[in-house]
Amino acid sequence: MTNPEVGTVAQCSRLADGLYQLVIHAPEIASRAKCGQFVHILCGEGNFLRRPISICDVDAPRLRIVFQVKGEGTKWLSERKAEDKLDLLGPRGRGFDLAKLGAKPVFIGGGIGVPPMLYATKCAQNAGAKPSAILGFRSQSAVILEEDFACPATVCTDDGSYGVHGFVSDVLKQQAAGFTGIAACGPKPMLKAIAAIAQQAGLPCQVSMEERMGCGIGACLVCACALNAENGETRYGHVCKDGPVFDAEEVQW
Ligand code: FES
């Protein structure tokens, strides 16, 4: 269990429709955060709801999060101003195991699954790898963070209004031979398609299932995830505690 840290908001800005970015001064969490982990943020004064939000980037002593407004809690979060205090728990969860992804990993994000890939590509670069990114969005108006990626990044949109017309899995299919491993975060159908391509190509693949999280503390069971047990049977894991990152082969699709 991690201790709470009181973070101070340095900046809050809107990135796209319903998508916000917070830069938070939080030295303890920033010093320990690994890519793929999340912070659990108390949202609102009256209600005691924490929201799990993935870490988008770390520039110690600051960390950056990007989130979608989905309800009361995230709306409250989007209204924070510089100098406001935030009650944070973290870093939490199991992040990406970069050592297993080889020298030329590709990081694939879909929609709100794009933000955690930013820090993951940075960490891979710091570890001496040559990462690439494939970033998928609904349409041009939903494109975020493109300029923040310091590695080769292919942007695609479902409707073709920007970048490559198509899904991240279409781009991956064409480029898979050039990579040594795959890390992905996004909606489950996207992850399933990527896991299948990885299997065909014989590439190690890790998926972050965080879109399935609710409470983030093992209490709501929203995040129960069917996994393959070693004896060939099904076992259930909690995305918030056992993940959010799993080996794609572990997940029952
Ligand atoms: Fe509620 Fe995991 S998110 S139990």
How many whole angstroms separate alpha carbon 138 and alpha carbon 160? Answer: 9
Atom of ligand 1 nearest to the CA of 222: 1
Q: 155 C-alpha to center of ligand 1: Å?
A: 31
Domain ranges of the chain: 3-92, 98-206, 211-253
pLDDT, tens digit (0-9, with 9 covering 90-100), for 131-179: 999 999 999 999 999 999 999 999 999 999 999 999 999 999 999 999 9
Query: Is the distance from CB of 35 to CB of 107 less than 8 angstroms?
Result: no
Q: What is the model's pLDDT at position 9?
A: 98
Whether the full predicted model's pTM is greater than 0.75, yes or no, is yes
Mean pLDDT across the stretch 207-211?
A: 86
Q: Which atom of ligand 1 is nearest to the CA of 238?
A: 2
Question: Tell me, what's the pLDDT at 222?
Answer: 86
Which band of pLDDT confidence, cut at 50, 70 and 90, is reported for residue 2? low
Q: What is the pLDDT of residues 45-104, one digit of tens each?
A: 776 678 899 999 999 999 999 999 998 899 999 999 999 999 999 999 999 999 999 999
Between the CA of 225 and the centroid of ligand 1 the distance, in Å, is 10
98-206: CATH topology: Rossmann fold (3.40.50)
> pLDDT at position 210, please?
75
Q: Cβ(113)–Cβ(184) under 8 Å?
A: yes
pLDDT value of position 220 = 85
Percent of the chain with pLDDT over 70: 98
Average pLDDT, the chain: 94
CA atoms of 214 and 221, how far apart (whole Å): 8
Residue whose tokens read 């060939």: 232
CATH architecture of 211-253: Ribbon (2.10)
Q: Would the CB of 222 count as within 6 Å of ligand 1?
A: yes
Return the CATH fold of 3-92. Answer: Elongation Factor Tu (Ef-tu); domain 3 (2.40.30)
Instruction: Determine whether the shortest distance from the Cβ of 164 to ligand 1 is under 6 A.
Output: no
Q: Is 211-253 in the same CATH topology as 98-206?
A: no
